[in-house]
Amino acid sequence: MIPIGSDHAGYPLKEALKKMLDARGVEYIDMGTHSTESVDYPDFAKIVAEKVHDGTYDRGILVCGSGEGVCMTANRFPNVRAALVWQPEVAVTSRTHNDANILCLPGRFMDDTMAEEVLDIFLNTPFEGGRHTRRVEKMTNIHPSDKA
């Protein structure tokens, strides 16, 4: 099960992504919003990020106009590694190198074809581990007072 959420600007792409998930037999839970009426993206990013942070779900998907706002919001939660993805190569490295667990997409700047390609990569690309494990662990355990 994958939680998916968006603001009003990301709503059309979120709806397209739901159809793509249906076609792949991937279960999801729509955390809102449910229209193009103006809403605040942090409200929906928080809902999805909390569910990934607390382990209810392994991965999530967020969409807003630029993808930036939902990504910034989601990354405030421990255990969340949200990645803003706008092309396939970024999707690959976000999974293989960073073990991204929330896919953030720019609804105003991505067509359905590109979104579908990125979605498939996010769903099917495993984390490489190895040298990347140490780096992901450092991200997970970093604290603002840590010395560089």
CATH code, domain carrying 7: 3.40.1400.10
In terms of residue numbers, what domain contains 8?
A: 2-141
Number of continuous H segments (helices) and E segments (strands) in the chain: 6, 5
Catalytic (active site) residue 53: no
Distance CA 55, CA 42 (A): 20
Q: What stretch of H or E contains 97?
A: none
> What integer pLDDT is reported at residue 81 of this predicted model?
97
Catalytic residue among 8, 34, 53, 97: 97
Number of domains in the chain: 1
Does pTM top 0.85 for this prediction? yes
Model confidence over 22-52: pLDDT tens digits? 999 999 999 999 999 999 999 999 999 999 9
Q: What is the mean pLDDT of each run of 10 residues along the chain (148 residues)?
A: 98 98 98 98 98 98 98 96 98 98 98 98 96 91 72
Instruction: From the candidates 8, 53, 64, 104, give the one annotated as an active-site residue.
Output: 64
Annotation says 104 is catalytic: no
CB atoms inside a 10 Å sphere around CB 26: 13
